[in-house]
Every structure is written in structure tokens, then in C-alpha cells.
Structure 1
Amino acid sequence: MDKFENLKVPGPTVTPVSKPFWEAVANHKLILQKCTDCNKWVFYPRMHCSHCWSGNLVWEQVSGKARLKTWSVVHRSGHPGWEEITPFVLGVVELEEGPSMMSHLLLKPFEDLQIGLPLVVRYIRCNDVWLPFFERCK
């Protein structure tokens, strides 16, 4: 989507722990950490399992499929760089594998938004950074 490519917006804060996630997104893949002790998915990237506190986490590719949990239409952005595309939709999506994440939704602000709407990840370049956005399943 061309409207995002030239936005002057801050990118994510990449840490040594989150670096594999952002590198995968740049390669159009969605990966999450999975605990090898309790077998649960973990998101946002961290050094220990948020379920059992184990440090045995591995990265695995996930489907990129999700369902909409909630959303907000943003009319006034928190950073001036996003003003150019307001209004836009931010949402919390529940990934097929279980974890939730917040993301931009490639949906019109007053489109038929509903909890449970099936979505799929789409990789969008904003300035120099690739980000995972979500759109309706086709």
C-alpha cells in the first residue's frame, strides 16, 4: 500500500530479544516464541515463558491467521507522522495459535467491523521498516 511507504513514523524498538521477530517480518514471515516446557505460545518476545517462567523458548513460524478481538478508530494520532492517513483502524487480533497482538488493520474505519472477523497478516513497508498489518481473509 503506497500510502504507508513514505510516512515519517517511528519504527519499532528492536531489542536483542525481539530482533528475530522483526527480521522475520522483514522477510514476510510471522514467527512467535513457543515454550518447549509447557508448549504454549508467547508474544511479545521475551526471555522467559509468560505461562510457566521457563527460559526454554524457541522461534516457530505461525499461520498469520487471526480473528478480531477489538478495535478503535483513530481520528487523532499519537504521532504526527500518522496524521496523513487518519482516520485509521487499530485492532487487537487473536492469532490462530492463541496469543493476541495489536496491529494496524487494513480496513476502512466504518466498514463492517465485528468481533470475530477473520483476518490474515499482510506485510506493509512504512518508511524503511516492514510491519505486520492485518486485513480481511479473502
Structure 2
Amino acid sequence: MDALLLPVVDDDGAPFWEYAARGELRVQTCGSCAEPRFPPRPCCPHCQSFDSQWCRLSGRGRIWSYVLPHPPLLPAYAAQAPYNAVLVEPVDAPRVRLVGNVVAAPGAALNSVDPARLRIGAAVRVAFREAGDGLFLPCWLLERP
């Protein structure tokens, strides 16, 4: 059986994954203009500063968009269909979009939430699930289960 996809950790994004392993949702923020940015990168796209810091977010957000892959693109995901892939807009970083899945609990399967319950604008909060190799992925729980 094929493994589920894991993120590739690079130098710019490594702090994101280190904080996630501690159960913290943080995004890179410009040290000059304070604009949050994701994905992480060396230079601010707004002011071109190379100064950055990692700011903790509240973990609350709203579903900005979602998709239910039909059929699943990779064989390893077929057993979990129908599942969702969501873009979440954090309430405290509205120009940032984070990718993940809405699940019933942090360790639950990708198909643990009925797709009929998903709505654009639905309130969610972050949780983290262990994905292997020491990586913890952000996932999302509906605020009103």
C-alpha cells in the first residue's frame, strides 16, 4: 500500500513543523512590516525585508474553500474516500491560507466528518495529528460538531 503524502521540510519551513510538533500553530511574520506570510520564505513579499519571526496564532479560523476529491488522486487515499481537503483562513492572519483536513478528532481518519457538514465560512479550530517521521500535521475540527 502506498503511503500518504508527507510534507517536504525545507530550511524556511522547518520552524513551522517544529512548532506543530509542540502543538503550536505559528506562521512566519515579517519583522519589519509585521505582515504574516505562508508558505514561509526568506523575503517578505510586501516590503522585501529579510527579517522575520514566528508568531503564534489562536488556532481559530474559517473554511475558506474545500474540495472532495473524486476519485482520490492517489491509491493510498482511496480507502479514506470520501474525504475533504480544506483551505482555512486563520482569524488572526486573514491573508494566510492553511491546507488541511476537517476531522472528527486529532487522530481520526480523513473521512471521519460527513462531507455534508462542510460549509464555506464554517468556524474551525486547529488540532495536530502525528503523521510519522516526527511530523505533526495541522488538522481542523468544526467548532460546532
1:61 aligns with 2:56: yes
What's the offset of the Cα at 1:136?
A: 0.7
Cα RMSD for the two superposed structures? 1.6
TM-score, normalised by the number of residues in structure 1: 0.86
What's the offset of the Cα at 1:135?
A: 1.4
1:100 aligns with 2:106: no
Residue number in structure 1 paired with 2:143 = 137
Stretch deviating more after TM superposition (32-41 or 102-111): 102-111
Contact 1:8 1:127 in 2 (8 A): no
Contact 1:88 1:109 in 2 (8 A): yes
Cα distance between partner residues in 1 of 2:38 and 2:87: 13
Stretch deviating more after TM superposition (69-78 or 24-33): 69-78
Q: Percent identity?
A: 27
Q: Describe the SS at the equivalent of 2:116.
A: coil
Cα distance between partner residues in 2 of 1:80 and 1:135: 25
What's the offset of the Cα at 1:108?
A: 1.9
Cα distance between partner residues in 2 of 1:80 and 1:130: 22
Residue number in structure 1 paired with 2:115 = 109
Picking from 41, 51, 67, the partner of 2:36 is: 41
Q: Describe the SS at the equivalent of 2:128.
A: strand
Q: Name structure 2 gaps, 5 residues minimum.
A: 104-112
Residue number in structure 2 paired with 1:28 = 23
What's the offset of the Cα at 1:60?
A: 1.5
Q: Name structure 1 gaps, 5 residues minimum.
A: 1-6
Amino acid at match of 2:122: L
Residue number in structure 2 paired with 1:124 = 129
What's the offset of the Cα at 1:100?
A: 1.2
Cα distance between partner residues in 2 of 1:67 and 1:79: 27
Cα distance between partner residues in 1 of 2:101 and 2:141: 9
Cα distance between partner residues in 2 of 1:103 and 1:76: 18
What's the offset of the Cα at 1:10?
A: 2.5
What's the offset of the Cα at 1:52?
A: 1.7
Q: How many residues align?
A: 131
Cα distance between partner residues in 2 of 1:29 and 1:38: 23
TM-score, normalised by the number of residues in structure 2: 0.82
